[in-house]
Amino acid sequence: MKVLVLMDFTAPARLALAFVRARMPHARVRLVHVLERSGLSAAFSTPSAGIGGSGEALDATLSARLAEVQAELRQLGGGEVIEGEPVEVALRMAQAREVDLIVVGRDSPGLLSRMVAPSVVERLVKASPVPVLVIPGEGA
């Protein structure tokens, strides 16, 4: 079985990875962190951010963040970084049959966040062509 674990380095995501390793020891685990360039780009294009908005500064920030993420993934046993939006990346992998199962951790969202926009987990569960296993965080 090919299992995709989305890793954002939160406690629930780490619990999801631990669950897969403990309960699915023979699975081929694909640990992926999705780096959302759009969020960083928006910060650099906002005058109130107090940043010059230069492409060079954005590239330097992205490079630094990429190095941090790669170091964190190495501590977890390795993984890959893919640029994009988490739901789109996971769905693309599922639709291409690169994975048989998607595993995600979930914090308990507050009422306001549930009312404003669906979470990554909710969007993934609704749209995925493969099963999505949601591991609740402690206290969720």
Structure confidence by residue, pLDDT tens digits, 12-29: 999 999 999 999 999 999
Walk across the sheet containing 101-106 and list its strands. Answer: 80-83, 28-35, 2-6, 101-106, 132-136
> Residue 15's domain spans which residues?
2-136
Measure CA of the first residue to CA of the last residue in the chain; give whole Å.
28
- Top pLDDT among 41 and 109 is at 109
pTM of the predicted protein model: 0.79
Tens of pLDDT, residues 77-109: 999 999 999 999 999 999 999 999 999 998 866
Tell me what pLDDT residue 116 has.
Answer: 57
Closest CA to 29 of 106, 116, 125, 100: 100
Beta strands in 65-124 (DSSP E): 80-83, 101-106
Average pLDDT over residues 51-77: 82
Q: Is the pLDDT of residue 46 over 50?
A: no
Residue 52 sits in a domain whose CATH number is: 3.40.50.620
Distance separating alpha carbons of residues 65 and 67, to the nearest angstrom? 5
List residues bridging with 104 in a β-sheet.
Answer: 134
pLDDT for 43 equals 47
Q: For the chain, how many structural domains are there in total?
A: 1
The length of the chain is: 140
Beta pairing class for 101-106 and 132-136: parallel
User: Which residues are CB-neighbours of 36 under 8 A, at least 6 positions away?
Assistant: 83, 84, 85, 86
Q: Which residues contact 27 (CB under 8 A, 6 or more apart)?
A: 1, 2, 3, 20, 101
